[in-house]
Amino acid sequence: MTKTTIRLAAASVLALSAAGASADVNLRLSSWVPAQHALQTTGFEPWLASIEEASGGSITSTIFPAQQLGSALDHYDMARDGIADITYVNPGYQPGRFPIIALGEQPFHVADAAEGSAAFDRWYREYAAQEMPDIHFCMAFLHDPGTLHTVEQVLLPSDLEGMTIRPGNATMGRMLNLLGAASVQVPAPEAREVIARGAAEGLTFPWDSVWLFGIDSETKYHLDMDLYATTFVLAMNQSTYDSMTSEEQAVMNDHCTSEWAGRLASGWAEQEASGREKALADESHTVHQPTEDELAAWREATAPLLEEWKAEVSEAGHDAEAIYDRFTDAMSAADALVQQ
């Protein structure tokens, strides 16, 4: 390369910088689920492909699955610190840090993940900036309702007393403690090992993830009820977003929407629901559908968790009742709220 060419290239870079433009962007998306997980194959990959197409190829991406860039517990801070450009965050892995979004974890509230995720995202956008100021919020969504999967049969809340269970989020951890069980908080990819070595006797999980993570060889008993959901966020590094051109930012804005939250969750929800059919078809597994009395016992036993959530959110200076009413209104309008 001649000195003249070098000077021209440098001048072009300076001109682009002066105009507020950036070089092409390659987004590093960090996830802690395996590459074959439905969230990646039916969610992340189509989403990122749409971003690349809409940007005319100026925004490309690389997915780093299975905790390659860091632990599932650290993904919010990884987006904040720029370890990745976009991260897949489970806010419930850090109890008490994000109290408002934790409402989505409450037992017997979420009935549908696809339509529910779009409604959930619309609701949470009002609070995201104040609760997650360290990152550029992209979207929030939910997984298909999960339940209890155990090595020994559990029928009633009292059966959990003395057991050790891996919870799916902070609210499930509180539920277990409320019911006399101990909780072992580990990321989803590490759940099978914990159960296999006897450090836990079950877990709360969506249905097909039991098979995807190989836990079906350990947990043979399942409660057939929509016990809970887990909240998730796609968090973007603020500096990455700020460094984009206005055109690129517009593409990201068009892909960080409630509609996309529903689309991201829908394929995964369909896959998770199929796990129930696998359990029903496998003679080595027992799926128990609670009776009306048993279901009433579960609802009564877990009711204090909502009051705890309201107290925690109120102590943080928010109007818990108003937040709860907006949540139930949004989920009900989407026909995604469990009948209360």
* CA 12/CA 186 separation, integer angstroms: 50
* CA 180/CA 167 separation, integer angstroms: 14
> Tens digits of per-residue pLDDT, 241-284?
999 999 999 999 999 999 999 999 999 999 999 999 999 999 99
The two tokens of residue 187 are 């990321």
Domains 24-145+229-271 and 147-227+276-317 share a fold: yes
Q: Would you say residue 14 has pLDDT above 80?
A: no
Compute the chain's Rg from CA coordinates: 22
* CA 273/CA 79 separation, integer angstroms: 30
Cβ pair 215, 58 in contact under 8 A: no
332 Cβ contact partners less than 8 Å away, ≥ 6 residues apart: none
List the chain domain ranges: 24-145+229-271, 147-227+276-317
Q: Would you say residue 11 has pLDDT above 90?
A: no
Cβ count near 1 (within 10 Å): 7
Question: So what's the pLDDT on residue 339?
Answer: 86
Question: So what's the pLDDT on residue 114?
Answer: 85
* CA 242/CA 201 separation, integer angstroms: 46
Question: So what's the pLDDT on residue 23?
Answer: 67
CATH of 24-145+229-271, one of 3.40.190.170, 3.90.1170.50, 3.30.830.10, 3.40.640.10: 3.40.190.170
Q: Would you say residue 17 has pLDDT above 90?
A: no
Average pLDDT of span 297-309: 98
* CA 212/CA 272 separation, integer angstroms: 10
> Tens digits of per-residue pLDDT, 195-217?
999 999 999 999 999 999 999 99
Q: Which of 198, 216, 154, 149 is nearest to 180 (CA)?
A: 154
* Residues paired with 140 in a beta bridge: 233
Place of tokens 């999980």: 205
Q: Would you say residue 15 has pLDDT above 80?
A: no
Place of tokens 């529903």: 262
* CA 282/CA 60 separation, integer angstroms: 42
> Tens digits of per-residue pLDDT, 314-329?
999 999 999 999 999 9
Q: Tell whether domain 147-227+276-317 is in CATH 1.25.40.10.
A: no
